[in-house]
Amino acid sequence: MKNKVTHIFGKAAHNLDTLVTEFGSQESAFRAVLNAANGKLPASGTFNNVSVHVGGYDVIIRGSVVNGAPKIGKMFIS
């Protein structure tokens, strides 16, 4: 998970610094987004532009669900 978190939060254009500040770390912000996505993702396959409300922000996530586990490929605040 560490590499994925670093990849997602390492791009300033994703505007995720506010979530890191709100939740105290990149990992905690990532978990908060995953928790908010619970019930909004498909049972399997890819998903695009799913909006979840976290820490007062609408976060857009893209990725896939593989064997029941969500795999976030991109996350950003627009």
Question: What's the pLDDT at 59?
Answer: 98
Across the beta sheet with 69-77, what order do the strands follow? 45-54, 57-66, 69-77
Among 5, 19, 15, 11, smallest CA distance to 53 is for 19
Domain ranges of the chain: 2-77
Instruction: Return per-residue pLDDT of the chain as tens, 78 residues.
Output: 566 788 899 988 999 999 999 999 999 999 999 999 999 999 999 999 999 999 999 999 999 999 999 999 999 998
Q: What is the pTM of this model?
A: 0.89
Neighbours of 33 (CB within 10 A): 22
